[in-house]
Structure 1
Amino acid sequence: MPLSPERTETLIILGIDPGSRHTGYGVLAVEGERARVVAVDVIHLDAQASHPLRLLRLFEQLSALVDRYRPDECALEMPVYGRNPQSMLKLGRAQAAAMLAVLTRQIPTVEYTPKEVKKALTGRGNATKEQVRFMVQALLDLPSDQVKLALDASDALAVAVCHWQHRTRLQPFRGHTSWARFVQAHPERLD
């Protein structure tokens, strides 16, 4: 009797870059060592609405996304510093609303600092948002001829990729120590 090919289970990871006005999200389907983007976008909240109402809308919209894509795990970017205490408080509340949308559905949730995310994708903890976006597009084979991802959306995908790498202990560059060296070694990813 011939053996059937081994099936790999698909892992769905939801990455969230929370914000009180703009929240990026990205959904990855991971099979083995490959990941593909299922969904990526930004939730734009009404700047004229009160902060509590924006938090409610964020919770509702993320809850609907969780119900639609049914992620197995969620990764959030964690706010760690800021110049304005009021802004940081609002950002922390947005993160809490995002966490609750996921945790109320009993989905395991992990937080990563911006430096951890940047280091996982570019090899440098102080990379720019544009460098992170470039690496997200290269690592996930997103066509470069399409309109560039919004920075909040690419940040959300970056959080999901960071989580994937941490949970599987993948080495993002397979020996490369910076995004520039990765690009030099993989010029085909620039097309």
Structure 2
Amino acid sequence: MPPSPEHADGLIILGIDPGSRHTGYGVLAVEGERARVLAVDVIHLDEQAAHPLRLLRLFEQLGAIVERYRPDECALEMPVYGRNPQSMLKLGRAQAAAMLAVLTRQIPTVEYTPKEVKKALTGRGNATKEQVRFMVQALLELPAEAARLALDASDALAVAVCHWQHRTCPHAPRRYSSWARFLREHPERLE
């Protein structure tokens, strides 16, 4: 993890894509109409450990990230449905552990559904995770190697970007009505 950033005049947003085995996080520094990535990664929890211990590790590791980057606000992806009730219960607990890691440090927290996040980035609420990753890379002007970014990590950045757009609508990155229009305006992204 890089050294702790200095707080400038901008806003630091922590985005979290919670999971009981893998939790993505992304930290954005927003300055005016631009945002840059301070950190992005995935917290991998020991799948052999009991679920309560994984929740404790998640709480501790996110707490350390909050202490390092001192975000002003946090945005979490909210689990909304699933086929397996046990999996949804575990996912909900992971989200609660993530929320507590942030809220115990007095950081305002907002939740977004996966459809809201996808729509904010791609214009479509049913976009694939790969399409979301592509748009994260494009909107944040990340280098080409970001195309290999873990999907949990790019989802966390997407949640942070979604929050930034909802928070500062007039200064939000431009939204595109379709993939075709985005690609017409950015032919360099077809490489």
TM-score by length of 1: 0.92
**Aligned residue for 1:173?**
174
CA gap of 1:146–1:163, structure 2 versus 1, over 3 A, is: closer
Counterpart mapping for 1:13-162 below 5 A? 13-145=13-145, 148-162=148-162
- Which stretches in structure 1 are left out of the alignment for 5+ residues? 1-7
Out of 146-155 and 35-44, give the one that drifted further: 146-155
Identity of aligned residues (%): 86
Compare CA radii of gyration and give the structure with the larger one.
Answer: 1
Contact 2:79 2:113 in 1 (8 A): yes
- Which stretches in structure 2 are left out of the alignment for 5+ residues? 1-7
Contact 2:134 2:147 in 1 (8 A): no
Distance 2:180 2:147 in 1: 22
SS of structure 2 residue aligned to 1:142: coil
The ranges of structure 1 where at least 4 consecutive aligned residues each deviate by more than 4 angstroms after the TM superposition are none
RMSD: 1.4
CA gap of 1:121–1:147, structure 2 versus 1, over 3 A, is: closer
Distance 1:36 1:24 in 2: 17
**How many angstroms does 1:179 deviate by?**
3.0
**Aligned residue for 2:3?**
none
How many residues align? The count is 183
Contact 1:141 1:189 in 2 (8 A): no
Contact 2:133 2:147 in 1 (8 A): no
**Aligned residue for 2:4?**
none
How big is each residue's C-alpha offset from its partner over 1:15-65, in whole Å with a ceiling of 9 and x where there is no partner? 000000000000000001000000000000000000000000000000000
How big is each residue's C-alpha offset from its partner over 1:108-135, in whole Å with a ceiling of 9 and x where there is no partner? 0000000000000000000000000000
SS of structure 1 residue aligned to 2:148: coil
CA gap of 1:186–1:147, structure 2 versus 1, over 3 A, is: closer
**How many angstroms does 1:181 deviate by?**
1.4
**How many angstroms does 1:145 deviate by?**
3.8
Contact 1:135 1:179 in 2 (8 A): no
**How many angstroms does 1:172 deviate by?**
4.1
Out of 178-187 and 45-54, give the one that drifted further: 178-187
TM-score by length of 2: 0.92
Contact 1:138 1:190 in 2 (8 A): no
**How many angstroms does 1:186 deviate by?**
1.7
